[in-house]
């Protein structure tokens, strides 16, 4: 879900700001991958605590 939202947002930003640098969907894909990575990094401590048996 976060990657999909990141893709849409990144595509819109790419379409508005950098139409000549790269295709908007490429910018959207990069934005989606970065947002997905940030979400995974942000969720890692909670998942670690949940499955390591610590509270």
pTM of the predicted model over 0.75: no
Given this model, what pLDDT does residue 19 score?
61
Given this model, what pLDDT does residue 5 score?
76
How far CA 19 is from CA of 7, 14, 29, 43, 48, in Å, comes to 16, 6, 15, 33, 41
pLDDT digits (tens, 9 = 90+) for 1-55: 666 777 777 777 777 776 665 666 677 777 788 888 888 888 888 888 888 876 5
Angle, in degrees to the nearest 10, between helices 24-52 and 2-17: 150
Given this model, what pLDDT does residue 49 score?
85
Given this model, what pLDDT does residue 9 score?
76
Helix (H, G, I), strand (E, B) or coil at 7: helix
């Amino acid at each position: 879900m976060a990657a999909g939202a990141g893709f849409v947002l990144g595509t819109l930003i790419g379409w508005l700001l950098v139409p000549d640098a790269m295709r908007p969907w490429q910018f959207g894909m990069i934005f989606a991958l970065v947002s997905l990575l940030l979400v995974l990094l942000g969720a890692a401590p909670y998942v670690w605590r949940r499955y390591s048996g610590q509270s």
